[in-house]
Chain A
Amino acid sequence: MRGARFVDPDVLARIRNLELVARTVVDGFVNGLHRAPHRGFSLDFAEHRGYEPGDDLRRVDWRVFGRTDRFYVKQFEADSNANLLVALDISASMRFGSAAGTKLDYGRSLAASLLYFAHQQRDRIGLATFDSAIVNYVPPSARHLEYSLYALDRIGPGKPGSLASPLQTLTERLTRRGIVAVISDLYDDPEAIARAVRPLRSRGHDVIVFHVLDPAEIDFPYEEGSNFEDLESGERVPVVPTGLREQYQALVREHIRVLTRVLTESRIAYALFRTSVPLDHALFHFLSARERLSRVR
Chain B
Amino acid sequence: MTFLAPALLAGLLAIAIPILVHLVQRERKTVVPFPSLMFLRKIPHQSVRRRAIRDWPLLLLRILAVCLIVAAFARPILRGTDAVTMGAAGARELVILLDRSCSMGYGDHWARARDAAVRAVKSLRPGDLATLGFFSTNVEIAARSVDEGAGLMAAINRATPGAGGTRLAPALRAASGILEASRLPRREIILISDFQAGGWDRAQDSKLPPGVTLTPVSVAETSTSNAAIGTLMFGREFVPGGERITPSVRVVNRGATAATDRQLSLDVDGRVLETRRVSIGADASATVTFKPFMLATQPARVTARLAPDRLAADDAFFAVLAVRHRVPVLLMESMNPALDSSLYVSRALAVGGEPGFDVQVMRADQAPAATMASAAVIVLNDVRPPSGAAGRALAEAVSNGAGLLVALGERTTWTKDDPDLLPGLLGPVVDRSGTRGGTLGFVDYSHPAFEIFSAPRSGDLTAARIFKYRRLSAPAPARVLARFDDGGVAFAERRVGRGIVLAWTSTFDSYWNDLTLKPVFVPLMLQAMKHLGRYAEPRPWQTVGDLFDPAAVPGDRPASGRGGARQTVLAPTGSALQANIRTDSATSALTEAGFYQIRPSPGDALHASYLAVNLAAAESDLTSFEPADLVTAVTASGTNVDTARSLTLDERERRQSLWWYLLAGGLCLLAVEAVVAGRLPRVLKP
Interface residues of A (CB under 8 A from B): 92-98, 103, 185, 187-188, 214, 216-217, 221-233, 235-240, 243-244, 247-248, 251-252, 255
Contact A222 B683, beta carbon cutoff 8 Å: yes
CB distance from B681 to the nearest CB of A (A): 6
Interface residues of B (CB under 8 A from A): 26-28, 30-43, 45-50, 54, 681-686
In the complex, 27 of the A-B residue pairs with CB atoms within 8 angstroms, ordered by the A residue number, are A92-B35, A96-B33, A96-B34, A98-B685, A98-B686, A103-B35, A187-B38, A222-B32, A223-B681, A223-B682, A224-B26, A224-B684, A225-B27, A226-B27, A226-B684, A227-B27, A228-B32, A228-B40, A229-B31, A230-B35, A230-B37, A231-B35, A231-B36, A233-B37, A240-B47, A240-B48, A251-B42
Tell me whether A231 and B34 are in contact in the complex, defined as CB-CB below 8 angstroms, given that A98-B683, A225-B48 are known contacts. Answer: yes
Given contacts A94-B35, A98-B685, could you give 5 more A-B pairs where the C-beta distance is less than 8 Å? A222-B32, A228-B40, A229-B33, A230-B35, A251-B43
Q: Considering the chains assembled together, what is the distance between the CA atoms of A236 and B30 in angstroms?
A: 11
CB distance from B679 to the nearest CB of A (A): 13
Q: Which among A185, A225, A248 has the highest number of chain B CB atoms within 10 Å?
A: A225
Q: Which of B28, B30, B35, B683 contacts A187 (CB 8 A)?
A: B35
Contact B36 A240, beta carbon cutoff 8 Å: no
CB distance from B664 to the nearest CB of A (A): 31
CB distance from A229 to the nearest CB of B (A): 5
Q: Considering the chains assembled together, what is the distance between the CA atoms of A277 and B178 in angstroms?
A: 92
Contact B35 A225, beta carbon cutoff 8 Å: no
Q: Considering the chains assembled together, what is the distance between the CA atoms of A193 and B33 in angstroms?
A: 24
Contact B34 A228, beta carbon cutoff 8 Å: yes
Q: Considering the chains assembled together, what is the distance between the CA atoms of A243 and B47 in angstroms?
A: 10
Contact A227 B35, beta carbon cutoff 8 Å: no
Q: Considering the chains assembled together, what is the distance between the CA atoms of A92 and B686 in angstroms?
A: 13
Contact B31 A227, beta carbon cutoff 8 Å: yes
Residues of A close to B31: CB separation below 8 A: 226-229, 236
Residues of B close to A103: CB separation below 8 A: 35
CB distance from B337 to the nearest CB of A (A): 125
Closest to A238 in B: B48
Contact B40 A239, beta carbon cutoff 8 Å: yes
Residues of B close to A244: CB separation below 8 A: 40, 43, 46
Closest to B49 in A: A225
Residues of B close to A252: CB separation below 8 A: 39
CB distance from B55 to the nearest CB of A (A): 9
Contact A237 B40, beta carbon cutoff 8 Å: yes
Contact B35 A96, beta carbon cutoff 8 Å: yes
Q: Considering the chains assembled together, what is the distance between the CA atoms of A92 and B37 in angstroms?
A: 13
Q: Considering the chains assembled together, what is the distance between the CA atoms of A97 and B33 in angstroms?
A: 10
Contact B54 A223, beta carbon cutoff 8 Å: yes
Q: Which of B28, B37, B47 contacts A228 (CB 8 A)?
A: B37
Contact B36 A93, beta carbon cutoff 8 Å: yes
Residues of A close to B38: CB separation below 8 A: 187-188
CB distance from A238 to the nearest CB of B (A): 4
Residues of A close to B36: CB separation below 8 A: 93, 185, 187, 230-232
CB distance from B203 to the nearest CB of A (A): 75
CB distance from B27 to the nearest CB of A (A): 4
Q: Which among B28, B32, B685 has the highest number of chain A CB atoms within 10 Å?
A: B32
Residues of B close to A229: CB separation below 8 A: 31-34
Residues of B close to A237: CB separation below 8 A: 37, 40-41, 45
Contact B39 A251, beta carbon cutoff 8 Å: yes
Closest to A97 in B: B686
Q: Which among A92, A103, A217, A224 has the highest number of chain B CB atoms within 10 Å?
A: A224
